[in-house]
Amino acid sequence: MIRKIKPSDKIELENMLTRIPNFNEEEIKVAMELIEITVNNPDQKDYNIFVYENDGKVVGYHCTGKRPLTDGVYDLYWIASDPATSGKGIGKQLLEHAEEFVRSNNGRWLLAETSSKKSYDSTQNFYLRNKYSIISEIKDFYSVGDNLLVFGKYFNNKNH
């Protein structure tokens, strides 16, 4: 089941993030800052966090928000699932939920930024498998040899 985040989800999410090999301490800190903002300010609209709950346990989440100064571009700030549940389609269901959230809010684009590092191959393939395109690449963005890849999917809302 996918639902809005609750304050009681914070500890489970932090524990899950620490089990994901690609995330370093700094990245986990940034993810937790967005989680804190979301649970501490329920009226804010910048970050929308939804968790995937299975048998009472949080095993994934996505954080999606509208890009400032646009009328229909959304960022997928975070999407993660517990490595213990890998291959069960949780990431795909979370991504589809994020896409539906964007479409239901009259969004045109959903953008996801990631690293070009080899350790992010599975992340890059995840977006490609789900019909995202690389719409931009900035060389040496995170560090020398580590490019920023921007994946995007465009939604035609006339049919929605």
Q: What is the pLDDT of residue 121?
A: 92
The pLDDT tens digits for 18-51 are 999 888 899 999 999 999 999 999 899 999 999 9
Confidence of residue 158 (pLDDT cuts 50, 70, 90): low
Radius of gyration of the chain (CA): 15
Confidence of residue 160 (pLDDT cuts 50, 70, 90): very low
Enter the DSSP assignment of 130: T
- Where would I find the H helices in 22-89? 25-40
The pLDDT tens digits for 59-107 are 999 999 999 999 999 999 999 999 998 888 999 999 999 999 999 999 9
Residue 159 has pLDDT above 60, yes or no: no
Q: Are 107 and 143 within 8 A, CB to CB? A: no
Sign of the alpha-carbon dihedral angle for 34, 39, 44, 47? positive
Domains and CATH numbers, the chain: 2-159 (3.40.630.30)
Q: What is the pLDDT of residue 157?
A: 64
Residue 156 has pLDDT above 70, yes or no: yes
Q: Is 52 exposed, middle or buried (0-12, 13-18, 19+ CB in 10 A)?
A: buried
Q: Mean pLDDT over residues 9-25, rounded?
A: 93
The reported pTM is 0.92
Q: Angle, to 10 degrees, between the axis of helix 25-40 and the axis of helix 10-18?
A: 170
Q: What is the pLDDT of residue 144?
A: 97
